[in-house]
Homo-oligomer: A and B are copies of this chain.
Amino acid sequence: MNIHDVAKKSGLSVVTVSRVINNSPSVREGNRRKVLSAMEELNYQPNSAARSLVRGKTGVIGMSITNFNDSFYDRVIRVVNRKLAEQGYFLALSIAENEDEGVNFLFQKDRVDGIILLSPIEEKEYVEELKRKNIPFVLLDNQLQHEDVPSVVVDNYQGGYEATKHLIGLGHTQIAYIGGPSVFLSVAERKRGYVQALDEAGLTPFGTEYCGFTVSSGYEVAKRWIREDKLPTAIFSGDDFIALGVVQALREEGILVPQDISVVGFDDQQFVGEFYPRLTTVRQPEAQMGSIGVDLLMKLINGEVMPAVVTKLAPQLLVRESTASVRLT
Q: Which residues of A contact B (CB under 8 A)?
A: 43, 45, 47-50, 52-53, 58, 60, 68-71, 73-74, 77-78, 81-82, 85, 90-95, 97, 99, 101-102, 105, 108, 110-111, 132-133, 215-216, 219, 241, 244-245, 248, 251-252, 270-271, 274-276
Count of identical protomers in the assembly: 2
**Distance from A281 Cβ to chain B, minimum over Cβ atoms (Å):** 15
Rounded to whole angstroms, the CA-CA distance of A68 and B271 in the bound complex is: 16
What are some 11 contacts across the A-B interface (CB < 8 A)?
A: A45-B108, A47-B53, A48-B110, A49-B110, A60-B105, A68-B74, A81-B95, A85-B102, A90-B102, A92-B93, A241-B271
Most buried by B among A52, A53, A69, A245: A69
Rounded to whole angstroms, the CA-CA distance of A275 and B115 in the bound complex is: 38
Residues of B within 8 A of A69 (CB): 68-71, 73-74, 270
Q: Are A48 and B215 in contact (CB under 8 A)?
A: no
Rounded to whole angstroms, the CA-CA distance of A49 and B109 in the bound complex is: 10
**Distance from A137 Cβ to chain B, minimum over Cβ atoms (Å):** 17
Rounded to whole angstroms, the CA-CA distance of A278 and B205 in the bound complex is: 34
Residues of B within 8 A of A90 (CB): 94, 101-102, 105
Q: Are B48 and A111 in contact (CB under 8 A)?
A: yes
Known: A47-B110, A49-B50, A53-B53. 20 other contacts (CB 8 A): A43-B133, A48-B111, A49-B49, A49-B52, A49-B110, A68-B77, A69-B69, A69-B70, A77-B95, A81-B102, A85-B101, A85-B102, A90-B102, A91-B94, A92-B94, A93-B93, A215-B274, A216-B274, A241-B271, A245-B274
Residues of B within 8 A of A78 (CB): 95, 97
**Distance from A66 Cβ to chain B, minimum over Cβ atoms (Å):** 11
Rounded to whole angstroms, the CA-CA distance of A102 and B216 in the bound complex is: 37
Rounded to whole angstroms, the CA-CA distance of A92 and B53 in the bound complex is: 20
Shortest beta-carbon contacts, A-B, top 5: A93-B93, A69-B74, A90-B105, A49-B53, A85-B101
Residues of B within 8 A of A275 (CB): 215, 244, 248
Q: Are A85 and B99 in contact (CB under 8 A)?
A: yes
Residues of B within 8 A of A97 (CB): 78, 81-82, 85
Rounded to whole angstroms, the CA-CA distance of A171 and B215 in the bound complex is: 33
**Distance from A81 Cβ to chain B, minimum over Cβ atoms (Å):** 5
Rounded to whole angstroms, the CA-CA distance of A248 and B272 in the bound complex is: 12
**What residue of chain B has the Cβ atom nearest to residue A82's Cβ?**
B97
Residues of B within 8 A of A94 (CB): 90-93
Rounded to whole angstroms, the CA-CA distance of A183 and B244 in the bound complex is: 34
**Distance from A248 Cβ to chain B, minimum over Cβ atoms (Å):** 6
